[in-house]
Each structure stands twice: as structure tokens, then as C-alpha cells.
């Protein structure tokens, strides 16, 4: 009976350690999200993207290789934000595409995240 009790205590201690570790990760993630939101709140009414905003919000931008499909060149960008990383919007989420006009011959479309191999 003592052996069973000892084994059970060891198992419970291991589970407690695992749960504690997971809790720490979630608390860190929540802290990062709160830090990001506090920065975003300062720019809710911004009409232009300034250099300061860009530096405070974005950690890095990955420019992926361009592809030509049916005569149209496509190039994906992955934006990594400070504190939260790249935002991945699932394909299932119905979001209307956003098209931004740029210089002649270039069109920017925002569409849900697609995992690139």
C-alpha cells in the first residue's frame, strides 16, 4: 500500500510540474498579447503608417519567392508583429479580400494565411 501511495505521489508531482510549466507559458503569452494591444491602442485612429508605428508594431517582414500563375505574378509576405508573431488567419474564416492600389501594374491583396512549404 505504501508503494502504491509513493507511486501515486510521484505521478501527481509530475503532473503538477507539467501543469505549472504550461501555465507559465500561457501567462507569458497573455502578457505578450497585452503588450501588443497596448501599443495598438495608441494607433487606433491613425490615418497613415508612420515609421515610428512600423517600428513599434512590426518585428520583421518575410518576403517569399514570387510565383507566376496564368501570367500573373504572385508574391507572399509574412508579417511578424512584436510580441505575438505572425498572425495566421485560417482559410475557413470568411474574410473579404482587401485590395490596395499601388504603383502601376502592382496590386496588393490580403487574403487568409496559407501555409507555404
Structure confidence by residue, pLDDT tens digits, 40-52: 888 888 888 888 8
* pLDDT at res. 37: 87
Q: Do residues 94 and 102 make contact, with C-beta atoms less than 8 angstroms apart? A: no
The more confident residue out of 23 and 108 is 23
User: Which among 106, 102, 54 has a CA at the least distance from the CA of 75?
Assistant: 106
Rg of the Cα atoms in the chain: 23
83-102 pLDDT, tens digit per residue, is 888 877 666 655 555 555 56
Grid coordinates given for 110? 490580403
Contact 63, 79 (CB under 8 A): no
**CA distances, 4 to each of 1, 7, 16 (Å):** 5, 5, 18
DSSP secondary structure string for all residues of 40-72: HHTTTT-SS--HHHHHHHEEEEEEPPPEEETTE
Percent of the chain with pLDDT over 90: 18
* From 12-16, 29-33, 84-88, 94-98, the region with the lowest mean pLDDT: 94-98
Amino acid at each position: 500500500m505504501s508503494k502504491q501511495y509513493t507511486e501515486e505521489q510521484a505521478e501527481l508531482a509530475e503532473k503538477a510540474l507539467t501543469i505549472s510549466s504550461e501555465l507559465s507559458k500561457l501567462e507569458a503569452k497573455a502578457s505578450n498579447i497585452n503588450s501588443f494591444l497596448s501599443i495598438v491602442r495608441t494607433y487606433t485612429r491613425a490615418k497613415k503608417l508612420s515609421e515610428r508605428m512600423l517600428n513599434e508594431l512590426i518585428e520583421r517582414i518575410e518576403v517569399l519567392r514570387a510565383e507566376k500563375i496564368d501570367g500573373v505574378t504572385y508574391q507572399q509576405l509574412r508579417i511578424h508583429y512584436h510580441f505575438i508573431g505572425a498572425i495566421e488567419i485560417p482559410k475557413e474564416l470568411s474574410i473579404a479580400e482587401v485590395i490596395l492600389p499601388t504603383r502601376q501594374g502592382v496590386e496588393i491583396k490580403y487574403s487568409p494565411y496559407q501555409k507555404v512549404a
